[in-house]
Amino acid sequence: MQTDSSFTFVLFGGTGDLSMRKILPALFEAHRAGGMLADSGKIVAVARHVADRSEYLQWVNEHVKPHVSKNGVDEAAWASFLTRIEFAKIDLGNPDDFVLLRDAVKDLPGIRVFYLATGPSLFVPICRALASVGLNENARIVLEKPLGYDLKSSNAINDAVGEIFAEEQIYRIDHYLGKEPVQNLLALRFGNALFEPLWRREWVESIQITIAEELGVEARGDFYDNTGALRDMVQNHLLQLLSIVAMEPPHSMDSDSVRDEKLRVLRALKPINPLDIGKVAVRGQYHSGVIRGNAVPAYATEPGVKQNSTTETFVALKVEIENWRWAGVPFFLRTGKRLADRVAEIVVNFRPVPHSALGASALRAGANRLVIRLQPNETIRLYCLAKQPGEGMNLASVHLDLAFDQFFREGQMEAYQRLLLDVINGRLALFVRRDEQEAAWRWVEPILNEWKASNKPPKPYASGTWGPAAASAMLAQHGTCWLEEEN
pLDDT tens digit string along 156-183? 999 999 999 999 999 999 998 998 888 8
Classified as helix, coil or strand, 66 is helix
pTM (2 decimals)?
A: 0.92
pLDDT at 356: 77
pLDDT at 45: 96
Q: Which residues carry out catalysis?
A: 237
pLDDT at 1 over 60: no
The residues spanned by each domain of the chain are 7-144, 177-413+433-476
**H or E segment at 9?**
strand 7-12
CA distances from 432 to 4, 104, 296 (A): 25, 30, 35
**Among residues 383, 342, 379, which one has the least CA distance to residue 484?**
342
- Residue 34 makes CB contacts below 8 A (sequence gap 6+) with none
CA distances from 476 to 355, 362, 365, 397, 426 (A): 23, 20, 12, 21, 46
For residues 319-324, give the mean pLDDT: 97
pLDDT at 365: 63
Fold match flag (7-144 vs 177-413+433-476): no
For 255, counting Cβ atoms within 10 Å of its Cβ (0-12 exposed, 13-18 middle, 19+ buried), the class is middle
Decide yes or no: CATH 3.40.47.10 for domain 177-413+433-476: no
pLDDT tens per residue across span 302-318: 999 999 999 999 999 99
- What Rg do the C-alpha atoms of the chain give, in angstroms? 24
For residues 111-134, give the mean pLDDT: 94
pLDDT at 3 over 60: no
Superfamily of domain 7-144: NAD(P)-binding Rossmann-like Domain (3.40.50.720)
The annotation places the binding site at 48, 91-92, 145, 175, 179, 213, 232, 337
Distance CA 114, CA 134 (A): 13
Distance CA 160, CA 170 (A): 12
Single-letter code of the amino acid located at 167: E
Q: Where are the alpha helices (DSSP H) in 324-476?
A: 404-407, 415-424, 434-454, 469-476
What average pLDDT is seen over the chain? Answer: 91
pLDDT at 438 over 90: yes
pLDDT tens per residue across span 460-471: 999 999 999 999
Contact by Cβ (8 Å): 376, 342: yes
The annotation places the binding site for NADP(+) at 48, 91-92, 145
pLDDT at 402 over 60: yes
At CB < 8 A and 24+ separation, what contacts does 472-475 make?
474/279, 474/280, 474/282, 474/316, 474/318, 474/332, 475/332
pLDDT at 71: 64
The annotation places the binding site for substrate at 175, 179, 213, 232, 337
pLDDT tens per residue across span 80-116: 999 999 999 999 888 889 999 999 999 998 999 999 9
Distance CA 400, CA 383 (A): 7
pLDDT at 361 over 80: no
